[in-house]
Amino acid sequence: MRLLLVEDDPLLGDGIKTALQREGYVVEWFDNGTDAMAAVRCEAFSVAVLDLGLPDVDGMTVLRHLRRHSDLPVLILTARDDVDDRIAGLDGGADDYVLKPFDLKELLARLRVVMRRAEGRASQVLEIGPLRIDEARHQASWRGEPVALARREYALLLELARHPDKVMTRPRLESLLYGWDEEVASNAVEVHIHHLRKKLDKALIVTVRGIGYRLDSRLQ
Partner 1 sequence: MISIRRYLTRTLALVLALVTALAITAAYLITAHEMEEILDAQLSLESRVVAGLIGPNTDLADYRRITEQLSQPGHFARLYEAGRAQPAGDGRQALLYHHEEHLLSVGFWHPDGTPQLLGAVWNDAGPFPAPQQTGYDWVEYNGARWRVFSMFDAQSGLWIRTGVHEEFFSELESKVVLGNLIPMLLALPVLLWAMGVIIRRGVRPIGALSRQVEGRNDRDLSFLDVTVPRELAGLRQAINDFIARLRETLERERRFTADAAHELRTPLAGLKIHLDNARAGESASLDKAYSGVERLQRVVEQLLVLARIDREAPSQEADVDIYPLALDLVAELWPWAQARHQEIEVTGLEALWVRADPVELGILIRNLLDNALRYTPEHGTVTLELAERDGRARLIVRDSGPGIPEALIDKVTERFRRVADQRTTGSGLGLSIVLELTRRQQASLTLRNREPHGLEVSLSWPSVSPATARRLPRPDTIG
CB of 18 to partner 1, least distance (A): 5
Considering the complex, state which of residue 55 and residue 144 has its C-beta at the smaller distance from partner 1.
Answer: 55
Nearer to partner 1, 48 or 160 (CB): 48
Question: Using CB under 8 A, which residues numbered 40 to 69 contact partner 1?
Answer: 53, 55-56
Q: Which of 69, 100, 163, 194 binds partner 1 (CB under 8 A)?
A: 100
C-beta of 74: minimal distance to partner 1 in Å? Answer: 18
> What amino acid is encoded at 133 in this protein?
I
d(CA 208, CA 36): 33
Closest C-alpha to 52, from 18, 99, 20, 14: 99
Beta-strand (E) ranges in the chain?
Answer: 2-6, 26-30, 47-51, 74-78, 96-99, 125-128, 131-134, 139-142, 145-147, 168-169, 205-208, 212-215
Cβ closest to partner 1, residue 14 vs residue 182 = 14
Which CB, 103 or 182, lies closer to partner 1? 103
Please state, in angstroms and rounded to a whole number, the distance separating the CA atoms of residues 160 and 212.
11
Backbone angles phi, psi at 149, to 5 degrees: -125, 145
Q: Is 77 in the site for partner 1 (CB under 8 A)?
A: yes
Residues contributing to the site for partner 1 (CB under 8 A): 8-12, 14-16, 18-19, 22, 31-32, 53, 55-56, 77, 79-82, 99-104
